[in-house]
Structure 1
Amino acid sequence: MDLNPDWECVTDTVMGGVSKAHVATTAYNGRQATRLRGEVSLDNNGGFVQMAFDVAEGGGTLDASPFEGIQLDVWGNAEVYDLRLRTDQLEKPWHSYRADFMAKPEWQCIHIPFADIRPHRTTIPFAPARLRRIGVLAIGRAFHADIAISGVRLI
């Protein structure tokens, strides 16, 4: 099932950090894609830049339980990024579910099974039936983020 993301940019400035980024949809290496570019800084307790979208109108949920996982069509800069998922069960902004992936400097299809998604700072198991938000993050170390995504699917 193809998703039609309305990506937004979020940085650690929401928590006092100083990382900078922007998100733009454009033609990129032969495809229409949304590209996150920025500088991740650890200064002032920061450390992330993100592009994310709600999977349903008004922040509602999508029942992804009939699917096995998520596929992303990605072009990157040979850095490791996080796929970050949220459900409507999570109460705190630091609660999430995540999996890492390498974004090579070529178009590639990244497949992340739900079985590989791990809870972060929560004991609540991941419930695909309650999926609310999908994000891609550059996080945890100072580096230049540059990643383009041309497709997102539940498979």
Structure 2
Amino acid sequence: MQTIFDFQHNVDISKWNVVVDGVMGGESTGDFQLNEDGHGLFKGIISLENNGGFSSVRYDMPEMKILNNKIVAIRLKGDGRNYQFRVKNNDRDYFSYITEFSTNGEWQDVKISLEDMYPSYRGRKLDKPDFNHSQIDEVSFFIANKKNEVFQLLIDKIELKII
């Protein structure tokens, strides 16, 4: 097992950056901070105005070798909405490998198979192989459910694990 990020009191979250649809003229918001319990808190408002509709938070992490780990395990608490988890094997790539997961309002252990993550760019699946790399260089959480909504996602820990 390898820890990608473990949220706790006083942990440095300066490498986590919010990107919203304002880069394309949209009006969605996003904020990322440590809450009083020491969890990562990603929250905001999705607006479809001006062709908007997404908010994301990205961790520009040090390159991490995957080794024999095949699963990303995430301890989180969502708000009943659907989110995407994304990885890049090279943070300079224009596309990400993505998968969608649902939340239920309770603490959950979400397990994501790396080899099932598919390449996507701006909402379109690319004609490239699914994730088959030996490292990851960026992880992100993304919300874009094609409707106006308020969202909140608490993140406790992100790890790489063997199946």
TM-score band (shorter)? 0.7 to 0.9
In structure 2, which of residues 66, 73, 76 is the aligned counterpart of residue 74 of structure 1?
76
Mapped to 1, the partners of 2:133 and 2:154 lie a distance apart of 25
Distance 1:128 1:27, change over 3 A: farther
Per-residue deviation, 1:53:
0.1
Structure 2 match to 1:102: 102
- Report Cα offsets for 1:79-107 as digits up to 9, x if no partner: 11000111228642xx2111111122111
Structure 2 match to 1:42: 48
Per-residue deviation, 1:4:
2.6
Given the two structures, how large is their TM-score scaled by the length of structure 2? Answer: 0.80
Mapped to 2, the partners of 1:152 and 1:84 lie a distance apart of 12
When structure 1 is superposed on structure 2, of 42-51 and 120-129 the one drifting more is 120-129
Question: Aligned pair 1:33/2:39, yes or no?
Answer: yes
Question: Aligned pair 1:55/2:61, yes or no?
Answer: yes
- Contact 1:82 1:100 (8 Å CA) reproduced: yes
- Contact 1:9 1:49 (8 Å CA) reproduced: yes
Structure 1 match to 2:4: 3
Structure 2 match to 1:123: 127
| Amino acid of the structure 2 residue aligned with 1:26 | N
- Contact 1:37 1:147 (8 Å CA) reproduced: yes
- The structure where helix makes up a greater share of residues is 1
Given the two structures, how large is their TM-score scaled by the length of structure 1? Answer: 0.84
Identical columns (%):
23
Distance 1:69 1:128, change over 3 A: farther
| Corresponding residue pairs, total | 146
Question: Any gaps of 5 or more consecutive residues in structure 2?
Answer: 7-12
Distance 1:120 1:107, change over 3 A: same
Question: Aligned pair 1:64/2:66, yes or no?
Answer: yes
- Contact 1:89 1:130 (8 Å CA) reproduced: no
Question: Aligned pair 1:112/2:112, yes or no?
Answer: yes
Per-residue deviation, 1:128:
3.3
Give the 3-state SS of the residue equivalent to 2:35 in structure 1: strand
| Amino acid of the structure 2 residue aligned with 1:124 | K
When structure 1 is superposed on structure 2, of 63-72 and 115-124 the one drifting more is 115-124
